[in-house]
Each structure stands twice: as C-alpha cells, then as structure tokens.
Chain A
C-alpha cells in the first residue's frame, strides 16, 4: 500500500496554531537555536546537501541561492516569502500556513539569520485572507517571545522583523519583480531584468524570494537532515507536497517521497478517477504547466523523470481531467485564465494571448484552416521566447504540449 510521509507535515494537528507555547512544547525553534550557533555558509551547505530545489515553480537550487544571497555586499537585505500561490490547482502553501505557521516563521527567521537580512515579508494572496489572523498572531507571539525583534535569542546584532503583505487578485504578482512592486504599494507589473532582484529588489535592496514550501523545509532539514535524505532516489532526495485535484475521488494535499509514481499518487493517494472513468489528460504544475496523456502514469515523480516525460514538477499541482472534458475545452479554460491575468505590459503576451484565444475559438467551432494551426504554434512559440516575464513565457505550455500529444484536436476538417 502506497503511503504518504510526514516530514514537512510532521506538526500538522500536533499543536494549536494560535499558540507559540504549544509549538515550543513539541520542539519548535530548536532548529533556530541550532542555526544561531552555525555559520550561515554551513546552513546553506546543509540545505544544498539535501538537494532542495525551490518549490514555487522554477526549481532553483535553494542552497546555492542562499549562498549567493550571502555574498551580496549590501549591509541591508530582505527575505520575501512568496505565498501568492496563484497557479490553478495549487493549494499546498495554503495547507502549510493553515497547519504549521510557526514552522514557516522559523524557516524565515533562519533565512534572515543566514543572509543577514533585517526584514522579512510574507506576500500572501488576497484569496487567503482567512489565514491572515493565523500569521499575524504567529508574528506577534514570536515578537513577544524574542524570536523576532532586536538581538534575537541574545545574538548581538541579529535584528529581524517579519511583515505580512496582501496581494489583491493578480496572478502575475507571484513573479518576483511584480511581487516587490506590489509590496511597494504599486500595480504589480513585472520589471525589466537585469537588475535581478537578488541584487536590487524590494526598495532596491538585495532580495531573496522563496516559496512557502521551500521555507517550510528549513527547520526540518536543520533538525533532521538525514531523515529527509532517507527519502527519494539518490538523484532526487526528500519529500514533496503535491496538490492533486480535478476528477479524482480524494482531492487534497499529499506529502510524498520523491520517486513515487504518478499512478500511485493518483490512484492510491487520491483515490482514483471519479466513476472509474478514463483519463483524458494530466496537467502538472498548474495552468502554466504542460499536459500529458495517461501514458505518463508510470513515471516516477522526480524532476528528471517528469522532464523526460515532457512535463515537470512546477508548482506541485497534479490536475487529473477525465474523458468527459475535451482537450479543446480544457485549453479554452486555461487560455481564459491567461487572457485574464496577462498584465498587458509587453506585446508578445498581450497580443499573443488575444490571438490564441481567437484561434482556439475557431478550433472549437471546427472552422480553422491549416494555416490557423500553423499560426497558433508560431504565436505560442514566439510568446515563449520573447515575453518579458514568466507568465507570457509559460502561458502556452499546455497548448504546445497538446499539439504534440493530441494532434487530432487540431486536425483540419
């Protein structure tokens, strides 16, 4: 019987999330206490040894990012926790904030110590406004107990504060430069790069952005790195939160060891497909992720194996769509999302999304020509190469994958 694991989720339902005392009673802040006896470079190295890749979608090596952030010369730095979680079918960060807010805070405080930052910002989507009281309380109690504020845990000069900011319904604000614009109180239009935010981000300070799940791993790794490394195959250590939804019987967030097959995730954990129907397609990583037919089921869930199968981990979402939904209807809904979310700042994404929407309408109506299909592909590829930010670059991932796996959808009648 395939089972979930409890590394990141070990504290779920073990303490009252409104009580720092209960968190401390189950071992909370021991990782922070260890961290302050260490050199920041060694902390980054322990994370690197666990092969942690950022969990927000881009899968950047987290140990390396911390090490690079440390080497930035500016004496003032900021940490940002990206809790924008805007990818459809993604709700793992919500689960982490809801069930273990202090563990997230502890990870952020360790990040602050490691990178010598003075301020940390949690940028949480407006849609999660019901979680604000949990985080505000955690920040307040951490201040009262001396885990935030001045000379934290008696360490001279370790001054660090955490602030909670809210998004306002803009998916693009999950992109790093748009996110910092939004925290600065402006419309969240992505900035031109360079400069990169790691050098010049929020208020022009070096800024290290990490996803909620990435930061939620930190305390566990400093406490029990060996346990973490005992999960997963040698080239993809550890555990991962996946949010499985769509036409499955038991949608939800599951912590899996890397290497579990997609079939085990969908059938054993998520209870299989509603009404035992056949799978039309599976999308990995949210709306900006690629899709594959059911032949992907026996692929182990690791970065490399998924990539080999033409998909990817992305946001950790696994969307199962059964035979009742056609590929073109799926693509139309996905396109509606990107047409709505494009900030309209650069031409490839603004115009590309508009024209792809129109061309998809023709495909749906069956009135498309061979040159329409060619144009569809050309626009999608142009968007991927020339868009200013990741939104436009990844918006047509599903369409391009559909053209490869489901060519019959685009057949000219």
Chain B
C-alpha cells in the first residue's frame, strides 16, 4: 500500500482548501462536508495527515476530533487511493445480479487486487455497500458517477474507457 505523501500541502492546495473553508463559513460543525469536499480535490482522493492538522488548526477543533470523524465515516479515507477509485457494490441487489463477475473482471483487467492501486496510481479497487443504484445492478461508482448494468466485458471496458 502506498504511504501518505509528505510535502503535498502546496500553496495551490492550501488556497483551494481555504476557499472550501471560506465557503462553509469556517464552521467546525460542517467538518464532515468540508472533509468530503477536500477529498474530492486531492488527486489521490484521501485526507493526508498534513491536511488533517491544517483543518484542526483552521477550524479550531482537536486533531483527535478530525480523526474521529475520518475514521468513523466510510466515505472518508486516510490513505491514498487512486485517481479513479472504483467502488464496486458488494450489497445484496448487486450480489444477486452477479457482482462477482464485476469484481473478477476488473481485477483481471487492471491486474490489481481489492484495495490496491495500479502502478501509475490511476485506478484503485474497493468494495462498498449499496449506493442506491440497485435498479441498474450490478453497479460501480467512480468519483460520484454511477456506472450500471455491468454484466458484460464490453460494458466494463466502456466504463474504464470513460475514466480518462
């Protein structure tokens, strides 16, 4: 697994984070939403340690509170993932619609296992519970976009082709 990147708090990133904080009124009670917004703009879609400390300082909350929130919520991550984290639904509706085929095909096509990233850091594979796309099961979700009816190699290839 990839380690946390050091020195990633560039002036550009800091400015983007400050903009998110300003938009939410520097309100510590909005921590969950703030973390999600920041995670969206971090290339590897996680909350680096430096960022967690920065937020604690700016919002005047304890670092332990920030980490309580990050570790509690499944959609917040404290480890780098990938440019395109592919979230494969592991719940029952996708389960009875052969999500096993999706797991196996993606692992084979990308040459990685679960919770692993490709060498270039582009793709990352993970399993998540139902995200409410059961009407198009089996489904995956990538950076907020749902891809459904993934019941053939062609459809999975087409999904990957969109991630550029």
Contacts and interface: CB of A to CB of B under 8 A. Distances in A.
Interface residues of A, number: 51
A188 B134 contact: no
Given A91-B134, A251-B134, A251-B137, A246 B96 contact: yes
A184 B134 CA distance: 30
Nearest to A125: B132
A324 B131 CA distance: 24
B95 A333 contact: yes
Interface in A88-106: 88-91, 94
A21 interface: no
**When A and B form their complex, which 3 residue pairs have the shortest distance between CB atoms, in order from nearest?**
A169-B75, A168-B73, A187-B72
Contacts of B91: 88, 287, 333, 337
Contacts of A336: 90
Given A185-B29, A334-B92, A85 B132 contact: yes
Nearest to B94: A88
A182 interface: yes
Contacts of B144: 129-130
A167 interface: yes
Contacts of B93: 88-89, 245-246, 251, 319
Interface string B93-125: 101110000000000000000000000000000
B129 A340 contact: yes
A90 B132 contact: yes
B122 to A, nearest CB: 22
Contacts of B96: 246-247, 321-322, 324-325, 330
A406 B19 CA distance: 57
Contacts of A252: 135
Interface in A171-194: 171, 182-189
A246 B97 CA distance: 7
B128 interface: yes
A341 interface: yes
A88 B134 contact: yes
Given A94-B132, A245-B135, 14 more contacts: A86-B130, A89-B92, A89-B93, A130-B146, A169-B74, A185-B27, A185-B29, A187-B73, A188-B72, A188-B73, A246-B96, A253-B135, A333-B92, A337-B129
A85 B134 CA distance: 12
Nearest to A168: B73
A76 interface: no
Contacts of A340: 74, 129
12 contacts: A88-B91, A88-B130, A126-B36, A127-B131, A185-B32, A185-B69, A189-B72, A283-B92, A336-B90, A337-B129, A340-B129, A343-B72
Given A166-B36, A170-B74, A185-B29, A88 B68 contact: no
B57 to A, nearest CB: 16
A128 B36 contact: no
